Copies of this chain bind each other. A is one copy, B any other.
Amino acid sequence: MKNNEIPYKIYLDEQEIPKQWYNVRADMKKKPAPLLNPGTLEPMTAQDLAPVFCDELVKQELDDTTAYIDIPQEIQDYYKTYRPSPVMRAYRLEEKLQTPAKIYYKFEGNNTSGSHKLNSAIAQAYYAKKQGLKGVTTETGAGQWGTALSMACAYLGLDCDVYMVKVSYEQKPFRREVMRTYGAKVTPSPSMTTEVGKKILAEHPGTTGSLGCAISEAVEAAVTREGYRYVLGSVLNQVLLHQSIIGLEAKAALDKYGVVPDIIIGCAGGGSNLGGLISPFMGEMLRGERDYRIIAVEPASCPSLTRGKYVYDFCDTGMVTPLAKMYTLGSGFIPSANHAGGLRYHGMSPVISELFHQGLLEACSVEQTAVFEAAELFAREEGILPAPESAHAIRVAMDEALRCKETGEEKTILFGLTGTGYFDMLAYEKFNNGVMSDYIPTDADLEEGLAGIPNIPQNQ
């Protein structure tokens, strides 16, 4: 075991938790493209968004000039119950890999929601409560976001209606029960409780649902009822803003020990964790202060950055949401049923998409078996059973560390360990039994989804 000045876990004090979120858009010279009203193709205004999101979140969604936004005291207090999260030094993994690389990870899984999602859930629920709303609606796939929102709503005394992708509802009954323990109403999607759900069920009677379908239902359930708004756990600018707490804390912790990462790695589904983790580092890049190599890791089975198109598309299957300019596989794309965990969204956060388009970050995709091999090794060495989503970042961090072993370079790697895999044991069981699938969509598979992208003038 190494005898190093740097501890296994770097914890900030509670009073060192950042008191402001960082809005990376403020430092982007070319801003992410605005959301468009699908009827008029004009940029969405605050008024357009008001029926969907609560007012303060609309403001955050549209604000691409204010660099730092105060975190309300109540949210800071809530953060103190599970934050700061530690930056861990992977001494044991380094030893196992026999690499000269130094590996750090920011671990967001030590809360009951099991992931970083709680950082934005408490913020969104807080603003809804402050506006005097009765409740919020949302969708959840793997269940991390739904759990986080349930926790936040239970604490604030808000109704929480979760549309859970039907296949997850059935395969993850325990996730459902956690949400119910926190008082949420959980409905398998598509359902007969919404018009869009009925329509989807009529067209595809046997469907097991998708995130895109569940979004359509949750939006409808919000806009058609008095006192409800819709909230979303990824993709949106406001979510990346709230998740900047991950990167800000990580940077503050590393700064304490004079550690500067060479490579920063995050898994990417809708982009909430990656966007949050990299934000202060990306800010330095955008301001020309420092350079980092940043890698977004996506599953080969849902490759929006690596095989999608950068165009305007709907955020949902039912096409009830605004249009967002993003790397997308088409709102009709549904990853193979063998795909485990989250990271199954057809699109990518407009902020991440634009940064990728500008060449400020790289993207790569990894196959499922390789991801679970990394997860198993990590669990055994580091003692944390990772979420399948997080294991995508672990895979690439390990690959980079092994490359250092070949070249002898002593690179410093930071990756985001977004959460734990305690509710993903069906996927681990498949891996343990050697029956995991690595199905990757063919070009023909992707064609249908891509063909469904609306034809919007892309100079918007």
Contact = CB atoms under 8 A, between A and B. Distances in A.
Number of copies: 2
Given A1-B74, A385-B181, A80 B8 contact: yes
A53 to B, nearest CB: 24
Contact of A177 (B73, B81, B88, B428): B428
Interface residues of A, number: 47
24 contacts: A8-B14, A9-B14, A81-B88, A92-B155, A112-B379, A112-B385, A114-B422, A151-B380, A154-B379, A174-B174, A174-B422, A174-B425, A174-B426, A174-B429, A177-B425, A177-B428, A177-B429, A178-B428, A180-B428, A181-B376, A181-B379, A181-B428, A181-B431, A183-B380
Interface of A: 1, 7-9, 11, 13-14, 73-74, 77, 80-82, 88, 92, 110-112, 114, 151, 154-155, 173-174, 177-178, 180-183, 376, 379-385, 420, 422-423, 425-426, 428-429, 431-432
Given A9-B81, A112-B384, A174-B426, 13 more contacts: A92-B155, A110-B110, A111-B383, A112-B420, A114-B422, A154-B379, A154-B380, A174-B422, A177-B429, A177-B432, A178-B425, A181-B385, A422-B422
B425 A382 contact: no
A448 B381 CA distance: 46
Contacts of A180: 428-429, 432
A276 to B, nearest CB: 19
A160 B431 CA distance: 20
Given A7-B14, A80-B9, A429 B173 contact: yes
Contacts of A155: 92, 380-381, 383
